[in-house]
Amino acid sequence: MLGGGKKVERGNDRGTMLGRAVGGGEASMSIIGPGMNIVGDLVTDGTVRVEGRIEGTVRAGKAVVIGKGGEIVGDVLTQDAVIGGRVQGTIVAESRLEAQATSIIEGHIRVRSGHLLVEEGAVHNGQTQMLDGTESLALPAPPRVENSTES
The tens digit of pLDDT for each residue in 44-64 reads 999 999 999 999 999 999 999
CA distance 49 to 32: 6
Yes or no: say if 89 and 101 are a contact pair by the CB < 8 Å rule: no
Yes or no: say if 107 and 124 are a contact pair by the CB < 8 Å rule: no
CA distance 78 to 91: 8
Q: Is 21 exposed, middle or buried (0-12, 13-18, 19+ CB in 10 A)?
A: buried
The overall pTM is greater than 0.85? no
pLDDT tens-place string over residues 52-95: 999 999 999 999 999 999 999 999 999 999 999 999 999 999 99
Q: Name the 3-class secondary structure at 6.
A: coil
